[in-house]
Amino acid sequence: MKKKINLQLMSITALTIIVTLILVSAVFYELFKKQVFEDLRIYAYVLADEQEESIIQPSKEVCGDLRITLLDAEGKVYYDSNFPVNEMENHLQRPEVQDAFQYGEGSIVRKSDTLDRNNYYYAVLLKNGCVLRVAREADNVFSFLRMTFPTLMPVVAFLLLACVALSTISTKSLLRPIEEIARDIDTKEEIHSYEELDPLIKTIRQQHEDIVKNAQMRQEFTANVSHELKTPLTSIYGYSELIENGMASGEDQVRFAGEIHKNAQRLLTLINDIIELSELDSHVQRRAFEKVDLYDLAGACVEMLQVQAEKHDVGLTLEGQSCFIMANRQLIEEVLYNLCDNAIRYNNPGGKVAVRIEKKETKILLVVEDNGIGISEEHQNRIFERFYRVDKSRSKSTGGTGLGLAIVKHIASEHGAEISLESEIGKGTKITVSFSACTDV
Ligand code: ADP
């Protein structure tokens, strides 16, 4: 990257120098050309005045580096200071001569036989109808470039060196913070960078932290899953081995088969929850959202769990009114089931569970409140973590996997809903999920 920046800066500098050089040479050449024509014009008019009086035909020595040509009205050369007249062709078609006949004067630049030199011609129409042409050889634009190059070379070299030095320093300081963060992304120390780079550094750090946290969570999750699966599998293995070896009498056989059945059931529930969570994690298929009546769904759930509530001697009721939200029906059913199931399982005989659907400003609230065992403050923050249980044996004995609330949390966040928890040990628990109301209702 440094090399690339240096190279780019140097190319830009070199290009700028070359363009400047060409432009400066072109401007100087234009000025020079103007001056040469001005000189030739003055010579031509001085000579033209003299020509009015008498036909002076100055010799080559008198003309110096000037070439003087006299043409009659037909363009025939009848005097030239540099060449024998009889060898010269008719000049009527020469552009400067044409202009002189038409407008009184004309000028042109033609390439000389000598490299880097041009011939400059200036022609004027005399009063007697003849044309006087004055010409001289002088530098052209290439000779200007050739002349300026040696003078400018040291400047160019100095500028290029300065550019290399400057670009090295600036790329170094530009890349220093990036190199620092690449070297030690975990460091909590402040990296001295510039304002524009701060958000990028912040984002990179945040993402790195998230990745590390995610990796840790996955590792923990895998370890927990293995552990959770191991327990029922070990039971199944043990009981089936006893039956296989004929070590179970008739009555025991039924009991062992019951244990195997219970543990297999547990394995199934666990695997279902794990699949559910990993599907939520992977975001593979974006689930279809539709307008659903939360009160309707809660009604169906309450009805479904009535038998279980009676089994635990817990009263389960529903209050509220029709309230619509944009949601995935299946996921919301899962939220309702998990919350109500917990409220029944972590309750006392004779206890109560109230499910309420309320509208509060732009929000639709799902409240599941029980007067069960409650959760002490130190556990309240953690019960939404995967496999976190307050009372492990109670959770297991009632068919819990420790994943229910983790699934609820995931689904809520997928719906942009917020969860709040109020609980007091011995008094009960109230969990509120707040959804955005469906706007077209
Ligand atoms: P589980 O399958 O063990 O019920 P959850 O993720 O659903 O797992 O809940 C995590 C833990 O939170 C439970 O083990 C339980 O200790 C506690 N908990 C959840 N809901 C309630 C509730 N309504 N009352 C008391 N404790 C609860």
Q: Is the CB of 410 under 6 A from ligand 1?
A: no
Ligand 1 and 371: CB distance under 6 A: no
State which amino acid sits at residue 317: T
Determine the distance separating the centroid of ligand 1 and the alpha carbon of 243, expressed in angstroms.
35
DSSP 90: P
407 lines ligand 1 (CB under 6 A): no
pLDDT of residue 441: 47
Most confident residue range from 7-11, 59-63, 284-288: 7-11
- Taking the C-alpha atoms of residue 400 and residue 345, their distance in angstroms, rounded to an integer, is 9
pLDDT digits (tens, 9 = 90+) for 114-123: 777 889 999 9
As a whole number, mean pLDDT of residues 153-161 equals: 83
For residues 396-431, b (16+ Cβ closer than 10 Å) or e, as one string?
beeebbbbbbbbbbbbbebbebebeeebeeeebbbb
**pLDDT at site 50:** 64
Q: State whether the beta carbon of 401 lies less than 6 angstroms from ligand 1.
A: yes
DSSP state of 185: T
Quote the pLDDT of residue 190.
67
- Give the tens place of pLDDT for each residue, 44-56: 888 877 655 445 5
Would the CB of 343 count as within 6 Å of ligand 1?
yes
Q: Ligand 1 pocket, 314 CB below 6 A?
A: no
Q: Which ligand 1 atom lies nearest to the CA of residue 428?
A: 24
Average pLDDT, the chain: 88
- In short, whether 373's Cβ falls inside 6 Å of ligand 1 is yes
- Global pTM reads 0.62
Centre of ligand 1 to C-alpha 367, Å, is: 16
Confidence of residue 359 (pLDDT cuts 50, 70, 90): very high
- Listed ranges 17-21, 77-81, 239-243; the one with the highest mean pLDDT: 239-243
Q: Whose CA is nearest to atom 13 of ligand 1?
A: 389
Alpha carbon distance 441, 303 (integer Å)? 26
Give the span between the Cα atoms of 279 and 417, in whole angstroms. 19
Closest residue CA from atom 12 of ligand 1? 383
Q: Which residue has the tokens 């002349």?
A: 147
Residues 147 and 116: their CA atoms lie apart, in Å, by 11
Q: What is the pLDDT of residues 401-437, one digit of tens each?
A: 999 999 999 999 999 999 999 999 999 999 999 999 9
Write out the two tokens for 50.
């003299």
* Cα distance between residue 353 and residue 345, in whole Å: 10
Across 25-57, b (16+ Cβ under 10 Å) vs e yields beeebeebbeebbebbeebbeebbeebeeeeee
Q: Which atom of ligand 1 is nearest to the CA of 347?
A: 24
Give distance in angstroms: CA of 372 to centre of ligand 1: 11
Pocket test for ligand 1, best of 270, 342, 390 (most atoms within 8 A of CB): 342
